[in-house]
Structure 1
Amino acid sequence: MLLSLIGLIACAAACWRTCHGNGDEQAALLPFADDPEAARRMSAATGRHCERIVQPLPEPPPPYRMRA
């Protein structure tokens, strides 16, 4: 019984630490995630590092229209 209680508390503590990491900080940096230059400036200004910098998708070419 005591071992089960200790295991339950350990699991709850591990889940709590995992869920409450630096997610809020990274969420605040999401507006800068698609612009690497802005992410660098933000990192230099605040000291926070944006973990995920994504490259935006290229613009698709305009659809081909055949003129008759």
Structure 2
Amino acid sequence: MLEIVLNCAAVISLYFAVGWCLKHKTAKDIDEASLIPFADDPEVARRVELATGKTVNAVQISEPEPRKPEWGKLEL
């Protein structure tokens, strides 16, 4: 019985903690946060924009520069 009470108290505490953390966030903030996983791939961001009608602030990731052939060689 005590275990059930403690489990219920933990769930209720978690519910109120999440609610307290999100009480200062606006609906716009939460919408932007939900679109963050799609921001690093411009093609996927475009598809999500077409599907949802929401604007995704996509980030253009530059291609890494190719490594020079000399790097990684040890000369003794």
TM-score, scaled to structure 1: 0.55
Gaps of 5+ in 2: 1-23
Gaps of 5+ in 1: 1-15
4+ residue runs of structure 1 moved beyond 2 angstroms?
56-63, 65-68
**1:61 shift after superposition:** 3.9
**1:21 shift after superposition:** 5.0
Match of 1:54 in 2: 59
Q: With CA pairs under 8 Å and 6+ residues apart, which has the higher RCO, 1 or 2?
A: 1
**1:57 shift after superposition:** 4.3
**1:49 shift after superposition:** 1.0
Give the % identical residues.
36
Match of 1:66 in 2: 73
- How many residues are treated as equivalent by the alignment? 50
TM-score, scaled to structure 2: 0.50
Match of 2:29 in 1: 23
**1:67 shift after superposition:** 5.3
